[in-house]
Amino acid sequence: MATGSQSKVIFQNPYKYDVLNPEVSRVLQSGGTVEITGGLSNKTFNTIYKMSEAELQAVGYTLVSRGQASNATQGLTTTGEVIKSTIMEIILKKN
Amino acid sequence: MKHIIDLTKNNFDRIDFTEAKIIDFYCKKDLPTEFEFSVWGATLLLDPHWKHDKSFIPEHNFKDLYVSGIGIVRIDNLFGGNIEVYIYENVKDEQNRITVAKNHDGSELVFRRQWGNTDECKSVDEYLWECVIMWPYGFCNLKFYSNGNVDFKFNTEDLIFADDYLKDPYRYTFKEK
């Protein structure tokens, strides 16, 4: 994917990978946004969701908003039960 | 062999409970200062690095481990909490999913309880479990506020690779009978 070619990158319920990795930053154009949704008990998502604005700035992003997601879809557990956790969302802008 | 992992404060990120099932949960109307409940299926997040006690981990293993057995979560110095349980239907739908039961008016059937005034608990640590509970059977959002210790005790003989659980979940998950 070409460098700076994307205006938006969306992550839904990321699990066990570095969402704000350099590759994401590379393909995102300056001023482009990253939208990340997930439940707070998802430790990967929660780590990003609770980052301070200073910590986000240190990795090259500005906080746009964070709060409950408006249009989130619920998944299933591995054994087929519907998940009813509150889905949160954080939106970041690349500096 | 029994082993205890400290989950206090940021250590809570050492274990993932999203695939777990809360087995025994008996909490009085008045919240006690100490509380424990049993959980099947906690996942120890070893990958990519586990910076804590390695004494119970099989040698050269860096993969996540699933506790295919009952462990005990214990919390000290409780200040408050709340629980809501979305009650499941006891039969699967046509898409083989276990969905939430509905009231006559079409709304979802939810049980809720709150302990203490949780608005006054913002200065202490918050611990969240979002997972299945076996009784009442449903999806549980459980939150406790504490300024004490939280830990998880389990039997090391129940550890399997989390990948093996994902490949064959019905073999390793909790079974009622």
Residue B52 has pLDDT above 90, yes or no: no
Domain coordinates in residue numbering, chain A: 6-94
Residues in chain A where the model's pLDDT stays below 70: none
Q: What is the pLDDT of residue B101?
A: 97
State which residue of chain A sits closest to B133, comparing Cα positions: A81
Distance (Å, rounded) from C-alpha B154 to C-alpha B71? 4
Distance (Å, rounded) from C-alpha B119 to C-alpha B162? 37
Distance (Å, rounded) from C-alpha B177 to C-alpha B93? 22
Highest-scoring range by mean pLDDT, B54-63, B117-126, B149-158: B149-158
Does domain A6-94 sit in CATH 1.10.3470?
Answer: no
A87 contact residues in B (CB cutoff 8 A): none
Inter-chain CB proximity A84 and B139 less than 8 Å: yes
Q: Give the Å distances, CA to CA, from A10 to A34, A93, B6.
A: 6, 12, 34
Inter-chain CB proximity A82 and B98 less than 8 Å: yes
pTM: 0.88
Name the burial class of residue B131, with classes exposed (0-12), middle (13-18) and buried (19+) by CB atoms within 10 angstroms of its CB: buried
pLDDT band of residue B48 (cuts 50, 70, 90) is low
Residue of A48, A78, A86 to mutate, interface with B, max B Cβ within 10 Å: A78
Structure tokens at A78: 């591995």
Inter-chain CB proximity B47 and A80 less than 8 Å: no
User: Can the peptide bond before residue B32 be classed as cis, meaning omega within 30 degrees of 0?
Assistant: no
A84 contact residues in B (CB cutoff 8 A): 86, 100, 108, 139, 141
| Count of CB atoms situated within 10 Å of the CB of B17 | 25
Better-scored residue on pLDDT, B47 or B4 = B4
A86 contact residues in B (CB cutoff 8 A): 141
Question: Helices then strands (H, E): number in chain B?
Answer: 2, 13
Domain coordinates in residue numbering, chain B: 2-83+117-172
